[in-house]
Amino acid sequence: MTTAHTGNYRPGRSAAIRYLVLHYTAGRNDSAQSNLRYFEQNVVKASAHYFVDDLGWMQSVDDGDTAWSVGTAGIYVQKHPECRNENSISIELCCRYATGQYAFSKKTVRNAAQLTRMLMTKYDIPLGNVLRHYDVVSKHCPAPWVDDESQWLAFRKMIVEELDMTKQELLSLADTGDHPSDWAAEAASWAKQMGLIQGDGEGNFGWQQPITREALAVMLHRFSQLQTENA
Ligand SMILES: [Zn+2]
């Protein structure tokens, strides 16, 4: 739900969400909560959808509303041909500040990777459409990832690993037990008896888990062998 002041964003969207844009708050040891409060109480004609800190993330502007985050404001030069406020979600990372430099904590980066991965999945956004503010217009944002390109590359790698992790979690049989749904109980019991579907040897069958193409191929192959044996 949008909490930002109505003077900081435009309700609704005129285009589908296709890009995710990462920013830094340029705050000095700030928090997601303090940023939400700031954009609720001050009219600055600027906003972002999410603020991320060590604890997680908070939403300031709803995904369905247009945050004012990546415009040129008459100051910056447009660099990206397509990414605009209308078709992007903006994510701000809270900052640490010491000796004249901004930095992101490991936890904040990890949380931002999780949020980014979640939004990529939700809106079917490819990694190529995950950008720094700096890639959209000529603004030095997020400073830690413009000053040190390797940190930005490490973040992108983390996103990919997060995606793989989610897939693995989804396909894992661990702790799923042997609990087919009522409507599938008879078929599940038959498939088990026929040896078509085998658990992990520890009583986990993952009846509600999705199935990969290769696992399906193995099941069909087993079935065809049974047909041959019984012929
Ligand atoms: Zn920015």
pLDDT digits (tens, 9 = 90+) for 5-32: 999 999 999 999 999 999 999 999 999 9
Q: How far is the CA of 68 from the centre of ligand 1 (A)?
A: 10
Q: How far is the CA of 19 from the centre of ligand 1 (A)?
A: 14
Q: Is residue 149 scored above 80 in pLDDT?
A: yes
What pLDDT does residue 175 have?
A: 84
Paired tokens of 83: 């990414």
Q: How far is the CA of 50 from the centre of ligand 1 (A)?
A: 12
Other CB atoms within 10 A of residue 47 CB: 24
Q: Is residue 93 scored above 70 in pLDDT?
A: yes
Q: Which residue has the tokens 């949008």?
A: 2
Question: Which candidate, 61, 155, 62, places its Cα nearest to that of 114?
Answer: 155
- Ion ligand 1: residues, Cβ under 5 Å: 23, 133, 141
DSSP labels, 155-212: HHHHHHHHHHHHHHHHH--TT--S---GGGHHHHHHHHHTTSS---SSS---TTS---
Q: How far is the CA of 161 from the centre of ligand 1 (A)?
A: 25
Q: How far is the CA of 139 from the centre of ligand 1 (A)?
A: 7
Paired tokens of 197: 């579907």
Quote the DSSP letter at residue 77: P
CB 219 within 8 A of CB 198: no
Q: How far is the CA of 183 from the centre of ligand 1 (A)?
A: 51
Q: What is the rounded average pLDDT of the residues 52-66?
A: 97
Q: How far is the CA of 165 from the centre of ligand 1 (A)?
A: 29
Q: Is residue 185 scored above 90 in pLDDT?
A: yes
Whether the model pTM is above 0.75: no
Q: What is the rounded average pLDDT of the residues 60-66?
A: 98
